[in-house]
Copies of this chain bind each other. A is one copy, B any other.
Amino acid sequence: MPHAARRGRRPGSPDTRAAILTEARALFAANGYAGTSVRAVASAAGVDAALVHHYFGTKDDLFLAALELPIDPRVALAPAIAAGPDGAGERMLRVFLSVWDDPELQLPLLGVFRGVVDPDGQRLLRDGFLPAVLGPVGVALGIDRPEVRMPLLASQVMGLILVRYVLAVEPVASMSADEVVAIYAPTLQRYLTGPLG
């Protein structure tokens, strides 16, 4: 009786996909990344967990879809990471700048970044983006103490976002990518591989 197993469950459809995403956003925001399971999202959306995986892939994929980032940072950063820790600060910064300096990507990214001041947005960033994206980057780079070093990297990158894109403070806002790299890549590289005192 296949229908019995689906009792009360909506069939797959574009609306179902949107419903899953809505519930995922609400649950990730309320309970953080670690406190949210694919099963819980599926249950809240009234669908099977398999359907969530079908539409979105892994829990990390679902989380990034819920963040509504215009790019997948894991894909964008992959080549910079694959080349290893030497020079990774500059390579990751160049990827970051190529994304944020693109006006079409910058606008939606600014929207996500503004969420940093409300509690839900904070939880998504702290309990989601850092463990789901930055943590794996640090591990993939093979650096020591990634759990310390990646938040340091994040602190300078987020400060750069604030000054260059959100506040548009001159002369940082108008600097070329090469000028930004000359100033900030040594900082990021030290946080990744240098002595921390």
Q: Which residues of A contact B (CB under 8 A)?
A: 114, 116-117, 122, 125-126, 130, 147-148, 151-152, 154-160, 162-164, 166-172, 179, 181-183, 186-187, 190-191, 196-197
Q: In chain B, what residue has the closest Cβ to A179? A: B197
- In the bound complex, residues from chain B placing their C-beta under 8 Å from that of A163 are 151, 154-155, 158
Most buried by B among A117, A157, A191: A117
Q: In chain B, what residue has the closest Cβ to A196? A: B183
Contact B116 A162, beta carbon cutoff 8 Å: yes
Q: For A156, give its contact among B148, B159, B186, B196 (CB under 8 Å).
A: B159
- In the bound complex, residues from chain B placing their C-beta under 8 Å from that of A152 are 172, 183
The contact sample of 29 A-B pairs, CB cut-off 8 A, is A114-B117, A116-B162, A116-B166, A116-B167, A117-B117, A122-B167, A125-B167, A126-B167, A126-B168, A126-B169, A130-B169, A151-B163, A151-B169, A151-B172, A152-B172, A152-B183, A154-B159, A154-B163, A154-B169, A155-B160, A155-B163, A155-B172, A158-B159, A159-B162, A162-B162, A181-B197, A182-B197, A183-B196, A187-B187
- In the bound complex, residues from chain B placing their C-beta under 8 Å from that of A162 are 116, 155, 158-159, 162
Main secondary structure of the interface of A (DSSP, over half): helix
- In the bound complex, residues from chain B placing their C-beta under 8 Å from that of A170 are 151
- In the bound complex, residues from chain B placing their C-beta under 8 Å from that of A172 are 151-152, 155
Q: What is the minimal beta-carbon distance from A41 to any residue of chain B, in angstroms?
A: 23
Given pairs A156-B156, A156-B159, A159-B159, 13 additional interface contacts (CB within 8 A): A114-B117, A116-B166, A122-B166, A125-B167, A126-B167, A151-B170, A151-B172, A152-B183, A154-B163, A155-B159, A183-B191, A183-B196, A187-B187
- In the bound complex, residues from chain B placing their C-beta under 8 Å from that of A126 are 167-169
Q: What is the minimal beta-carbon distance from A179 to any residue of chain B, in angstroms?
A: 7
